[in-house]
A and B are shown apart, each in its own frame.
Chain A
Amino acid sequence: MSAPPVSHPVPRPAPGGAAAAFARANLLTVAAAALFVLLALAAIFGPAIAPWNPLQTDGASALRPPGSGHWFGTDPLGRDIFSRVLVATRLDLGIALLAVSCSFLAGTALGCAAGYYGGWTDRIVSRLAETIMAFPLFVLAMGVVAALGNTVGNIVLATALINLPFYARLARAEVNVRRNAGYVDAARIAGASDARILAAHLFPNILPPLMVQVSLNMGWAILNAAGLSFIGLGVRPPDPEWGIMVAEGAQFIVSGEWWVALFPGLALMLAVFCFNLLGDGLRDLFDPRRRA
């Protein structure tokens, strides 16, 4: 049985109330949440507030270092790097969000069925998860995109596929320990169907650990998608995307034009860091015992 959601023990009533005390005890988590809001705003409003057109080339101002006109400098085609980094937020976060949602939905459904019914369903789902996990996951994602075709849709699919086992295993384990719990028996006796028990009684109870997994997974999904673009899969130039932009800047690093690769790389790092911290914080919040 995993613990019910327990909030952090607050040593003594602090000035400013419980919210302020929580913020002090979880400074990193609060910082991550703020960063998350910033990222979300960039993803929503990025294209509207970008100072330059991210696709507009300008040969006269190629490879300018960061300055007043171009805060992050310009790339070899004279495009404004700040605008490109800003606009790319939507695509990068979008791919990761879509992929994680797919693995969450499919993985949880499979895991719930396996944990609830056991038997053959369990064996098939467990074997499937095990087979996926038998591959180095980034290599599998690369193989899937190579086989299915080089499109953004397939990047999402590949990223969803390699994350699926985590949800399936987690949901299976959590449902398995609860399937004979008192409230499940009660629902069964009251005549609820299996589908209703799973959806209305078990699913809400296993949601907290799954949400922690989602947050931790988001960072990894962003890294994975950007890594695939970096090696030339998925997003095609000239679309702005962090992984591709780092790849485009790679050749200029050895000649000293650091800003072409640095800023998209930093944006990528910050986004991943934000989701990892958020996931860690959520885990502490939902289940302090599991903190490692």
Chain B
Amino acid sequence: MIAFAARRLLGALPNLAGVMVVTFVLTRALPGDPAAYFAGPAATPEAVAEVRHALGLDRSLAAQFATYAGDLARGNLGHSVTTGQPVLTELAARLPASLELVAAALLFAAAVSIPLGVLAATRPGSWIDHACRALATAGVSLPTFFTGLLLAYVFYFLLGWAPPPTGRLDAAFSPPPAFTGFYLIDSLAAGDPELFAAALAQLVLPALTLGLFVIAPITRMTRASMLGVLAAEFVRTARAAGLSRGTILIRYALRNALLPVLTTLGMVFSFLLGSSILVEKVFAWPGVGSYALEALVASDYAPVQGFVLMMAILYLLLNLAVDLAYVAVDPRVRLQG
């Protein structure tokens, strides 16, 4: 297990290197001359050259990349021009908001789509199967930013069930003492059910919006994987042995069918991280996505690059976690590995 984890970790290194090269190239491709930008509009050519030297922009690309990699290793992602704060500090402060949103969306999507996929697989070709397919295709066609607005209109403006789409917590409440940064967990830890309810109410619509989008891939994968497992001989044996339908479906089939679904969850996470930017904008959610957007509008590039890098690393780590979970669940992978 540990050997496998170590090997898998090593295998992720080339990907990490690739990600760093891409973000470095994106840094170099910045519109305009950064030296001229930092020196100010009134700077003489000599002053610009001086700034260029100070920033290290006159050195070779390889040397610049080495500096860049060194900065990253020390956790230095540069400073935001608008706030003057280190990018890493600001990203770290806002990350829990995004993670809470993405985690809630993933839980919701899995809770809906796994039963849906099982249902479709047990009755292939039936109207339930067709309805599931149509629903799943419709779900993946929804622009997240549009569904978000639609949900806000229906549940906030028309029905009044949801709080206004303005962030993680109503202005009447103050955030719980920071412990994990997840308001749901922190408010429970602080023993404040009212605060928990308020945070949950704010979270429901954005999480729903984000989750709807990924129901399709998870449902499809569950259905395909269940169909394969249900045709397997051990299921036939279980049936012949007279086990109940529920036992066969859940204990025998679903447990085996979930493995490819786990891999799909890793892939789906990429969609979620990407679309969370849009959902955060719609619901004024104070996560890393809206932070990067604010910076983008202000032509403040260090936060944007820090954000892209952070997202890529998060995604790499998650895929690593999925692989490790796979090994923990399925002994066959260990034997082959």
Contacts and interface: CB of A to CB of B under 8 A. Distances in A.
Q: Is chain B a partner of chain A in the same complex?
A: yes
Interface string B294-314: 001100010011011001100
A147 B295 CA distance: 13
A207 to B, nearest CB: 24
B164 A254 contact: yes
Interface string A115-155: 00000000000010011101111111011101111000000
B277 to A, nearest CB: 7
B316 A254 contact: no
Interface residues of A, number: 48
Interface stretch (B42-50, B65-73, B142-150, B170-178): B142-150
A277 B301 contact: no
Contacts, number: 151
A265 B150 contact: yes
B256 interface: no
A280 B141 CA distance: 13
B168 interface: no
A256 B157 contact: yes
Given A134-B316, A265-B149, A292-B223, A147 B274 contact: no
Contacts of A135: 19, 22, 270, 308, 311-312, 315
B143 A272 contact: yes
B129 to A, nearest CB: 11
Contacts of A292: 220-221, 223-224
A119 to B, nearest CB: 18
A253 interface: yes
A269 B147 CA distance: 10
Contacts of B301: 146-147
Given A131-B19, A137-B270, A231-B277, A273 B141 contact: yes
B143 A231 contact: no
A112 interface: no
Interface of A: 28, 127, 130-132, 134-140, 142-144, 146-149, 219, 223, 226-227, 230-233, 243, 246-247, 249-250, 253-256, 258, 261-262, 265, 268-269, 272-273, 276-277, 280, 292
Interface of B: 14-15, 18-19, 21-23, 26-27, 29-31, 134, 137-138, 140-146, 149-150, 152-153, 156-157, 164-165, 220-221, 223-224, 269-271, 273-275, 277-278, 281-282, 292-293, 296-297, 301, 304-305, 307-308, 311-312, 315-316
